[in-house]
Amino acid sequence: MAKAQTRPTARIDKIVWRVRRMSRPTRIVVNMLISLVVVGLIGLPIMFLLSGSDSVEGGGVATIPVTVLAVIWLIAYGVGWWSMVGFDTDVEWVAHRPAGWMLVFGVTAFLIFVLEIILALLFGFVL
């Protein structure tokens, strides 16, 4: 008789178990959202720091910070794709601890990003 699948006990293993149950398109969308949140989390303070200087004028954006943010986005998206989707199409992907840690990192980054936006609104940076 086959042994019934039991839920894992460690918290990260529970998260991995939930990621394992997600469909491939769902994991791709989650990875995209995580990478965009990471770029927003890093990019918002950079743009606020630059908005006080002469490097951003008349709606223009400085080239170097945007290029750096694009590279950070590519790295975050690549790491997320590796951990949550997998590059090898010949072998069926199975979630392991890096997928769980990527999801935890994404949720943490999202919460920090929300706090960052709230502080920016409180201090009048966005308006």
For residue 123, the 8-state DSSP code is T
Of residues 36, 30, 35, 41, the one with CA closest to residue 117:
41
- What's the pLDDT tens digit per position in 31-80? 999 999 999 888 878 777 776 555 545 556 667 777 888 898 899 999 98
User: Is the whole model's pTM more than 0.85, yes or no?
Assistant: no
Cα angle value 39/52/126 (rounded, 5°): 55
Residue 94 main-chain phi, psi, to 5 deg: -130, 135
